[in-house]
């Protein structure tokens, strides 16, 4: 497994975090050969925060991550911080092969991060 930013080897947990970040920050329908890949989170991120938006965000994260990242099973998720152009995702999950509990903190930056 390799970091998409630096090209260096990364652990499986880092690979899972990288995969979740990619799934959530990729706009749904933007992949030519895989239109159903991604999420609607980029469409929601700049809206004013409300309880309704939080529920939409949780669904917009849970559904595609559950579909595309089969190495984990999500136990709970929380958006702990929302800021201009991004958010902090805190995810509790279980590694499906090992049964290991995972506590993943993933900063999600919408748009180019390079």
15-31 pLDDT tens trace: 999 999 999 999 999 98
- The three-point CA angle 11-39-73 to 5° equals 45
Which pTM was predicted?
A: 0.87
Per the listing, tokens 């979740």 go with 20
CA distance 104 to 77: 9
CATH number at residue 56: 3.10.450.40
Residue 7 forms part of a structural domain:
no
**b/e map 64-93, b = 16+ CB within 10 Å:** bbeebbebbebeebebeebeeebbebebeb
Answer yes or no: is 29 within a domain.
Answer: yes
Q: Indicate the number of domains in the chain.
A: 1
**Concatenated DSSP letters of 69-90:** -TTEEEEEEEEEEEETTEEEEE
Going by pLDDT thresholds of 50, 70 and 90, the confidence category of residue 86 is confident
22 class by beta-carbon count within 10 Å (0-12 exposed, 13-18 middle, 19+ buried): middle
Residue 93 falls inside a structural domain:
yes
């Amino acid at each position: 497994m390799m970091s998409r930013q630096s090209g260096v080897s990364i652990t499986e947990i880092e690979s899972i975090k990288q995969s979740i970040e990619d799934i959530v920050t990729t706009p749904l329908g933007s992949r030519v050969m895989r239109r159903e890949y991604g999420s609607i989170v980029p469409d929601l991120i700049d809206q004013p925060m409300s309880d309704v938006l939080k529920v939409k965000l949780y669904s917009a994260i849970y559904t595609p991550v559950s579909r595309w990242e089969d190495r984990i099973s999500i136990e709970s998720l929380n958006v702990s911080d929302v800021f201009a152009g991004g958010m902090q995702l805190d995810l509790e999950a279980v590694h499906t092969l090992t049964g290991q509990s995972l506590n993943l903190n993933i900063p999600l930056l919408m748009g180019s991060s390079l």
